[in-house]
Amino acid sequence: MKVGVLALQGAFARHLKVLGGLGAATTEVRAADDLSEVDALVLPGGESTTMSMLLDSSGLHDAVADRITNGMPVLGTCAGMILLARHVADGRPDQRSFAAIDIDVRRNGYGRQVDSFEADLDVTGLEDPFHGVFIRAPVVEWVGDGVEVLATVDGRPVLCRQGAVVVASFHPEMSGDGRIHGRFLDRAFAA
């Protein structure tokens, strides 16, 4: 079983490190050929507008969309959450998302004054709090009935799951804590 991390732009290196630390075989995904090797995919944080452009120019957009439709487990963090959302507010007009999870997000929705912040999160299924690092994070403004909200900050969802798709508005790869990646892998590769 191999986990790919989309490596077109952004904070992909730490995801590879966390996944490797959990014993997973990993690879950087930059082209459709790389994608065909992987069983699950992480979409990292970074800049969703740029990533959307690079997904188009690399020819990866349709390949990723296809794999998601066919049930590939996918974890999206921050910009990755934006790329997986059903609807994106305050995006660039030409920005595309995979509509893989029934949530609506607003880019940089926490506002300039609170550009970045950290919060200890109570996560469903984890015994101890998870330290969440939020960097120009998207706000989840709406979730559909089929979406399980696994953590909130001030009543707003920050970690959600629908089927094989998991999204976090924070950066779980930055906390030196592999539990969220670990749970993703456990579910993704549960027989």
Strands 139-143 and 101-106: antiparallel
Residues 124-143 that bind ligand GLN (CB under 6 A): 135-136
- Which of residues 45, 73, 76, 172 is near ligand GLN by CB under 6 A? 45
Distance of alpha carbon 189 from alpha carbon 104, whole angstroms: 28
Q: Whose Cβ is closer to ligand GLN: residue 28's or residue 47's? A: 47
Contact status: 75 vs ligand GLN (CB under 6 A)? no
- Which of residues 38, 53, 63, 78 is near ligand GLN by CB under 6 A? 78
Query: Quick check: is 160 catalytic?
Result: no
Q: Whose Cβ is closer to ligand GLN: residue 72's or residue 79's? A: 79
Contact status: 158 vs ligand GLN (CB under 6 A)? no
- Which of residues 79, 143, 168, 188 is near ligand GLN by CB under 6 A? 79
Contact status: 46 vs ligand GLN (CB under 6 A)? yes
Query: Quick check: is 28 catalytic?
Result: no
Catalytic residue among 61, 78, 160, 181: 78
Which residues are 151's β-sheet partners? 159
Query: Quick check: is 37 catalytic?
Result: no
What is the x/- site pattern for ligand GLN, positions 100-129, by CB under 6 A?
A: -------xx---------------------
Question: Angle at Cα 137 formed by Cα 139 and Cα 170, nearest 5°?
Answer: 105
CB 90 within 8 A of CB 107: yes
Catalytic residue among 15, 61, 160, 171: 171
CB of 135 to ligand GLN, least distance (A): 4
- Which of residues 41, 54, 82, 158 is near ligand GLN by CB under 6 A? 82
Q: Which residues contact ligand GLN by CB under 6 A?
A: 45-48, 78-79, 82, 107-108, 135-136
Residues taking part in catalysis: 78, 171, 173
